[in-house]
Structure 1
Amino acid sequence: MISMVRIDDRLIHGQVAVKWSKELGISRIVVISDKIATNEIQISALKMAAPAGVKAAILPLDKAIKILNDPRSEALKILVVTNDPKYVAGLVPQLTQKPRLNIANYGRIGGVLSDKRKVTETVYLSETDEQIFQEMFADGYDFTYQPLPSDPEQSLNQLLGGH
């Protein structure tokens, strides 16, 4: 079962590996990135960053959809992490369940910050990103902005001026 899908530029790092993994009681982390899934060095680094007792898999989107919908995944507690909203937009409509969606620490790596909209201290969105989120909101999905489990949840839709 997917406990949460998180968009975070840093993928598996302290907040995910320590705080969220413990809070959600996860046994697996699935990183979704078509690009990273072909880079053995990045795959090794991400697997080493996973906390003790938690297995990590770095997968392209199409393979992740198959694995996450496999009935054997129901018995697991899975945290899905990606660094691009397009993967979440491609993933969630294909899932048999509607997972909790979370965003934090996104948009500051890559690109020019002045070309992006500052939504929070840790979320910066390009026009393309905003379009993806608006389409997801229209389809009935929302994201919580919550960097750490101890932080209050805020609706990304509301932060962007929606309802």
Structure 2
Amino acid sequence: MGIPNIVLTRIDNRLVHGQVGVVWTSSIGANLLLVANDDAAKSELQQELMSATAETSEVGIRFWSLEKTITTIEKASPRQKIFLIVKTPQDVLRLVQGGVPIAELNVGNMHHSEGKVQLTKKVYVDQDDKDTFSKLVELGVDVYIQDVPEERKIAIKDVI
């Protein structure tokens, strides 16, 4: 099979919701949403809710654990235009270190929690997140913050 056609990888704490499933999916021309998240891969309720959004956009959706994503994504058909959605920068690093060819990382939503500082209106990070982003940049991933397609990209290295 070879190299999967990953059109975009995005971090979003909410995974698939209207903005991701409709706005981003149509903007990048994806035809498959791949949610790489261990919890979502096991939760029928989460899958049901996210699948409804995918149906609205008339695209396929899969829910894989991080490990399954690492071991299976290279089997994707070239006609699959994959929108890879993950929850944390640490998940992305695990995928990259596992051999998933992620060239570009869109940071969308990372909610506030204790110990996190605000980078932009919707992105909050702690030191571990900053270190992980730096490692991804070192590995050659183009990491940027962009909430919606119309907004300008902010290079992560400019704000951490």
Q: Is 1:25 aligned to 2:29, yes or no? A: yes
Amino acid at match of 2:62: A
**Do 2:103 and 2:140's aligned partners in 1 also have CA atoms closer than 8 Å?**
no
Taking a change above 3 Å as real, the CA distance of residues 96 and 127 of structure 1, as seen in their structure-2 partners, is closer
CA shift for structure 1 position 107? 2.7
Equivalent position of 1:148 in the other structure: 148
Amino acid at match of 1:124: Y
Equivalent position of 1:118 in the other structure: 118
Equivalent position of 2:10 in the other structure: 6
Secondary structure, counterpart of 2:38 in structure 1: coil
The structure with more strand, counted as a fraction of residues: 2
Identify unmatched segments of 5+ residues in structure 1. Answer: none
Which TM-score applies when normalising by structure 1? 0.87
Which TM-score applies when normalising by structure 2? 0.88
Equivalent position of 2:58 in the other structure: 53
Q: Deviations over 1:107-132 (max 9, x none)?
A: 33xx32xx112111110002221121
Equivalent position of 1:80 in the other structure: 84
**Do 1:4 and 1:102's aligned partners in 2 also have CA atoms closer than 8 Å?**
yes
Q: Between Structure 1 and Structure 2, how many residues are aligned?
A: 155
Identify unmatched segments of 5+ residues in structure 2. Answer: none
CA shift for structure 1 position 90? 1.1
Taking a change above 3 Å as real, the CA distance of residues 96 and 118 of structure 1, as seen in their structure-2 partners, is closer
- Cα distance in 2, alignment partners of residues 73 and 85 from structure 1: 26
**Do 1:144 and 1:153's aligned partners in 2 also have CA atoms closer than 8 Å?**
yes
Equivalent position of 2:68 in the other structure: 63
Amino acid at match of 2:98: Q
**Do 2:21 and 2:57's aligned partners in 1 also have CA atoms closer than 8 Å?**
no
Secondary structure, counterpart of 1:64 in structure 2: helix
**Do 2:14 and 2:87's aligned partners in 1 also have CA atoms closer than 8 Å?**
yes
Divergent runs of 4+, >4 A? none
Taking a change above 3 Å as real, the CA distance of residues 66 and 126 of structure 1, as seen in their structure-2 partners, is same
**Do 1:67 and 1:73's aligned partners in 2 also have CA atoms closer than 8 Å?**
no
Amino acid at match of 1:30: L
Q: Deviations over 1:8-35 (max 9, x none)?
A: 1111112111111111111100011112
